[in-house]
Structure 1
Amino acid sequence: MQSDTDSDAPDEIPSGGYRLGLAETVAEGVHRMAREEVDGALARLRDPRYDANEALHDARTRLRKVRALLRLAQDAIGIEVFETEDAAYKQALKLLDPARESYVAVRTVESLRGDFTEVLRPSAFVDLQARLEERHHRILRHTLREGVVPEAIIQLETARGRIDGWPLELADDRVLERGLRRAYERGYASMARAYEPEGGLAGRAFRLWRREARYLWFHYRVIAGAWPPVFEAMADEQLRLSHELGVGKDLGDLIRIVRDADDLADSQWPLLALTGLARERRKYLWQGLRSLGTRLYADTPDAFRDRMRRILQAARGS
């Protein structure tokens, strides 16, 4: 099942990569990575080439990587600048959300049909999927042709011009340590809420956990140069968790779309059947993620921070 997590498409613009170089200062690296990701997003939005869905997905992923950089360096940037810049990229993402969400809804129905082939007729949900596809094409045309993408480009060009002014003079490895701890702690707490005995397995808790798991994945990628074999493996497992939590989010989005739409089926029965399957699939997925989450969040937040400190000091010097 597809999740809106990351793109395998190659970068359109040559770059130093989403990784802090051992010889770079934190300020140099954060400024460089932010410029590269915004430039890459703008390139995809200005010229989506042959696959607009993939172009929008890649642009969105790059903007999330910028938001992750802001969070990682938040203590140096300061709360006012952080909130202004984060809001700018969040708004650009919001403009692109409907087209991506509608595309993922189509793919999610397709995946559900594949997951339940043993209990579904081959024709099950075919008409509903076709109507979701028509809905997606309408939203995609609106996004590409009616000013949505141009507005996002204008917003990003303006934000791009402010990157070099981000106040990172105080950025150092201790800032990275605190940013890593913050993302880890939030994921640690979100997982606990998601599986708490009373009220557990609730969609909102898992959405929050997914968001923080994805930010931590991006953070691991940024610092991977400090110990590539270890951090690349950690990033791979964090990506696995983020992807699976993203599948759960996609199922929840599909449930909401089906609930709110009034033109996807001629009767309520296929809609009720689809939402029932989606809920069961999501519940099964969530229950299966507990052991992976427990391994990835095995340390206390303070122990995690101290471990990150020792690794960064060994790799980059004190």
Structure 2
Amino acid sequence: MGYKLRPQDPVAEVRKVARQRIDKAIEALSVPAAERAEGVHQARKRFKELRALLRLVRKPLGAEFKRENQRLRDLGRALAESRDATAMLESWDLLSARFPKLFAEAGFKQIRRRLQARARQGEGDATNLDARIAQAINELSNASACIDSWPLSAEGFELLAAGVERTYADGCAELAKVRLEPSDEQLHEWRKRVKDHWYQTRLLTPSWPTLMQLRSDSLKRLADLLGDDHDLAMMQQLMQAQPPLFGDQSLRERLDRVIVQRRGEMQREALALGNEIYLEAPRDLVARWQRYWETAEV
């Protein structure tokens, strides 16, 4: 049950992949309580994959796009609370791997223990999580029941072309804004569009597996860089909001210096990679992908 659209019947493929992602999200949300944090994490990934699929067929979907996209967005937000503290701990460990000597100091180990306790508390205290999970499963079942009625009337690559062009063009536009103003907010907006393009590249990999997989791998690297950068930005915000969590002023200053250093490294790499990925004009990329699709072996 891969996240792929095969060229032989795109309308049927879109419906099939949508059902598969919904089924996997429901499966992830149905795990035992001890595995719930990871289950929520996996379900939210499926929501993002579904939203990228919806953006791929946004034009033929018409008004249905807004309804289904909003449904999935709201479900993701409702479940985000139980994940945030765990993500912060993971971000700490990635930063520790970059600066192992510094993070081996007693003061930094104490900070990690506090972040770990915070993550455990977040997993246990997420308000009404059982009820929110039950509501999410119900909404996903309703969404699945609507799939057969989606107005997907275009044929061949025309079903997908407008969605490919818009998503890629949005990524180009957000990258241009980042070049002018690399703020936390703007980098995060670019990351969201990068992830959409990555998901859509994955979906269309069967049209030309070698080239599309190479692009998918590059986009995954770019999305990871921007995601890790965003997590460190959130750590800086948390450090300002809750200073005692990060020790005394000296520890916080030293931590902030290495965060700034690491974010600079990742942003430079992300911009260099983004300049390569988003070099092509949107219409040229769509025309090239359409050739892949039309000459693919089915």
Conservation of the 8 A alpha-carbon contact between 2:195 and 2:219: yes
Q: Distance in 1 between matches of 2:149 and 2:287?
A: 31
Please, which moves more after superposition, 116-125 or 89-98? Answer: 116-125
Q: Which residue of 2 aligns with 1:304?
A: 285
Secondary structure of 2:154's partner? coil
Q: Distance in 2 between matches of 1:210 and 1:218?
A: 12
Q: CA deviation at 1:311?
A: 1.8
Q: CA deviation at 1:269?
A: 4.1
Q: Distance in 2 between matches of 1:266 and 1:289?
A: 31
Q: Which residue of 1 aligns with 2:6?
A: 21
Aligned: 1:280 with 2:261:
yes
Q: Is the alpha carbon distance of 1:145 and 1:220 closer, same or farther for their aligned partners in structure 2, counting shifts above 3 Å?
A: closer
Aligned: 1:147 with 2:131:
yes
Conservation of the 8 A alpha-carbon contact between 2:103 and 2:109: no
Secondary structure of 1:255's partner? helix
Secondary structure of 2:100's partner? coil
1:66-215 aligned at under 5 Å gives the runs 66-78=50-62, 80-119=63-102, 121-143=104-126, 146-170=130-154, 172-196=156-180, 200-215=181-196
What's the % identity of the aligned pairs? 25
Q: Distance in 1 between matches of 2:234 and 2:131?
A: 25
1:260 is aligned, of 233, 241, 245, to: 241
Partner amino acid, structure 1, of 2:287:
D
Q: Is the alpha carbon distance of 1:278 and 1:99 closer, same or farther for their aligned partners in structure 2, counting shifts above 3 Å?
A: farther
Q: Distance in 2 between matches of 1:150 and 1:98?
A: 16
Partner amino acid, structure 1, of 2:80:
D
Aligned: 1:234 with 2:215:
yes
Q: Is the alpha carbon distance of 1:264 and 1:64 closer, same or farther for their aligned partners in structure 2, counting shifts above 3 Å?
A: same
Conservation of the 8 A alpha-carbon contact between 2:165 and 2:282: yes
CA deviations 1:30-63 (Å, max 9, x no partner) are 1111111011010110115864333222111111
Q: CA deviation at 1:101?
A: 1.9
* TM-score normalised by length of structure 1: 0.86
Higher helix share: 2
Aligned: 1:34 with 2:18:
yes
Partner amino acid, structure 1, of 2:108:
F
Q: Distance in 1 between matches of 2:221 and 2:188?
A: 15
Please, which moves more after superposition, 112-121 or 129-138? Answer: 112-121
Q: Is the alpha carbon distance of 1:141 and 1:121 closer, same or farther for their aligned partners in structure 2, counting shifts above 3 Å?
A: closer
Partner amino acid, structure 2, of 1:135:
R
Q: Distance in 1 between matches of 2:130 and 2:245?
A: 24
4+ runs deviating over 3 angstroms: 48-53, 118-121, 142-146, 265-273
Please, which moves more after superposition, 259-268 or 279-288? Answer: 259-268
Q: Is the alpha carbon distance of 1:48 and 1:207 closer, same or farther for their aligned partners in structure 2, counting shifts above 3 Å?
A: farther
Q: CA deviation at 1:278?
A: 1.9
CA deviations 1:79-113 (Å, max 9, x no partner) are x2111110100111112212222111011112222
Q: Is the alpha carbon distance of 1:266 and 1:70 closer, same or farther for their aligned partners in structure 2, counting shifts above 3 Å?
A: same
Secondary structure of 1:289's partner? helix
2:38 is aligned, of 54, 67, 71, to: 54
Conservation of the 8 A alpha-carbon contact between 2:152 and 2:159: no
Q: Distance in 1 between matches of 2:182 and 2:32?
A: 38
Partner amino acid, structure 2, of 1:215:
D
Q: CA RMSD in A?
A: 2.2
Conservation of the 8 A alpha-carbon contact between 1:185 and 1:301: yes
Conservation of the 8 A alpha-carbon contact between 1:201 and 1:283: no
Q: CA deviation at 1:146?
A: 4.8
Aligned residues: 297
Q: CA deviation at 1:145?
A: 5.1
Q: Is the alpha carbon distance of 1:266 and 1:19 closer, same or farther for their aligned partners in structure 2, counting shifts above 3 Å?
A: closer
CA deviations 1:143-181 (Å, max 9, x no partner) are 485523223223222222222222212354123122111
* TM-score normalised by length of structure 2: 0.91
Secondary structure of 1:236's partner? helix
